[in-house]
């Protein structure tokens, strides 16, 4: 581990020296890449320096205990040594976590897609509830969210796709993909019976325009047609709606939210690229998860991951058997406790693999 840490420090120093070169600012791409790499490894360097100082302080206090003749100084050194040695395992653990292989997509922005599943209007209402929950959470993180596509139901939302940008969005949101189940008494239920409904959430990292997904236009069918259907506000007399069909994957994207065909096409291609890129991530992650038992998946959209039980005020994440009883504040956007528990679980599994 220490050889790896010393190598990281050397790389950090090289990058710092490179940023001192005034000619670098004439090369924006290289400047951005250098800044990004340096900022990514800086937490490791800071923690390693903290660890080394801690080890030096422990050695210094031991030296005082063994060689100092002043009894009061020895007692002070013993007291400080006890505190330093107690903190050392925590710093070592933090270093190990920082050295875990980093998901290359963690820094990316995302497309968040939510769809009503089983349960009719109640499922659509829950989509709207979860959109409000996530929107509030995004606000607490300082992230920006923009609705890309929305389909209204008679009540609630049938489907919504949102672009979310900010600091390390995917790293926090990637475990939200899957089936979310809600158990509650609908407003329309006169007998007071609890109904079960589901929605599907997909979190897709935005694909890089150049590097990630290069589309072969011969494999894509583009249809244009007049906007219509429920909602009414987008209906017009021109062929502004766009449907993309990606033949190799069977992915179909239909977009009619904008009055401009060009804008609808731009949005449709953005979603198509994200979905193709997401398929690749799912395949890679599922392969890793099959090798590391207990690793939380981020790809299986059919997996029931969480239950929201309103009568009991309970949220249960089934992947890690984690249950909390603060549903009202959770639905208000206070969801980080569960997200952090999922991250910690995955880190523990990865650490076991590294130490095996």
Tens-place pLDDT, residues 266-300: 889 889 988 888 888 777 777 666 656 666 765 55
Residue 326 in this model has a pLDDT that exceeds 70:
yes
State residue 266's pLDDT score: 87
Is 341 within 8 Å of 320 (Cβ atoms)? yes
The pLDDT of 77-101, averaged and rounded, is 91
The pLDDT of 54-66, averaged and rounded, is 94
State residue 232's pLDDT score: 40
Domain ranges across the chain:
2-98, 110-350
Tens-place pLDDT, residues 163-196: 999 999 999 999 999 999 999 998 767 677 899 9
Find the range with the poorest average confidence among 22-31, 232-241, 310-319: 232-241
State residue 239's pLDDT score: 73
pTM (2 d.p.): 0.75
In this prediction, what percent of the chain has a pLDDT beyond 90?
55
Residue 235 in this model has a pLDDT that exceeds 60:
no
Find the range with the poorest average confidence among 148-157, 182-191, 310-319: 182-191
Binned at pLDDT 50, 70 and 90, residue 229 comes out as: low
CATH numeric code, 110-350: 3.30.70.1660
Structure tokens, 295: 């690793």
What architecture is domain 2-98? Up-down Bundle (1.20)
Residue of 234 and 194 predicted with greater confidence: 194
Binned at pLDDT 50, 70 and 90, residue 338 comes out as: very high
State residue 99's pLDDT score: 85
Is 220 within 8 Å of 245 (Cβ atoms)? yes
The pLDDT of 199-223, averaged and rounded, is 82
Give CA–CA dist 320/17, Å, rounded: 44
State residue 279's pLDDT score: 84
Binned at pLDDT 50, 70 and 90, residue 120 comes out as: confident
Is 270 within 8 Å of 144 (Cβ atoms)? no
Binned at pLDDT 50, 70 and 90, residue 233 comes out as: very low
Tens-place pLDDT, residues 237-254: 567 889 999 999 899 999
What is the CA angle 278-30-166, rounded to 5? 45
């Amino acid at each position: 581990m220490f050889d790896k840490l010393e190598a990281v420090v050397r790389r950090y120093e090289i990058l710092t020296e490179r940023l001192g070169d005034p000619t670098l600012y004439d090369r924006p791409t290289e400047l951005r890449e250098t800044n990004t790499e340096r900022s990514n490894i800086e937490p490791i360097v800071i923690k390693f320096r903290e660890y080394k100082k801690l080890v030096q302080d422990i050695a210094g206090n031991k030296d005082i205990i063994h060689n100092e003749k002043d009894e009061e100084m020895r007692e002070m050194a013993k007291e400080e040594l006890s505190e330093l040695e107690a903190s050392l395992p925590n710093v070592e653990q933090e270093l190990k976590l920082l050295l875990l292989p980093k998901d290359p997509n963690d820094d990316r922005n995302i497309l968040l897609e939510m769809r009503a599943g089983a349960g009719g209007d109640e499922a659509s209402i829950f989509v709207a509830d979860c959109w409000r929950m996530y929107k509030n959470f995004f606000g607490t993180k300082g992230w920006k969210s923009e609705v890309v596509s929305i389909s209204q139901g008679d009540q609630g939302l049938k489907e919504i796709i949102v672009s979310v940008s900010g600091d390390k969005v995917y790293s926090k949101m990637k475990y939200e993909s899957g089936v979310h189940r809600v158990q509650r008494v609908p407003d329309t239920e006169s007998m007071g019976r609890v109904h079960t409904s589901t929605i599907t959430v997909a979190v897709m990292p935005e694909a890089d325009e150049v590097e990630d997904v290069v589309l072969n236009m011969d494999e894509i069918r583009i249809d244009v047609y007049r906007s219509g259907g429920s909602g009414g506000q987008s209906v017009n007399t021109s062929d502004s709606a766009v449907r993309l069909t990606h033949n190799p994957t069977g992915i179909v994207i239909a977009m009619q939210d904008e009055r401009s065909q060009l804008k609808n096409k731009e949005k449709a291609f953005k979603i198509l690229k994200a979905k193709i890129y997401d398929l690749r991530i799912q395949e890679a992650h599922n392969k890793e998860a099959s090798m590391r038992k207990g690793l939380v998946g981020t790809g299986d959209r059919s997996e029931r991951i969480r239950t929201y039980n309103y009568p009991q005020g309970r949220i249960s994440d089934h992947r890690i058997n984690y249950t909390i009883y603060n549903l009202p504040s959770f639905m208000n956007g206070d969801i980080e406790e569960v997200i952090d528990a999922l991250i910690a679980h995955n880190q523990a599994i990865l650490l076991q693999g590294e130490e095996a």
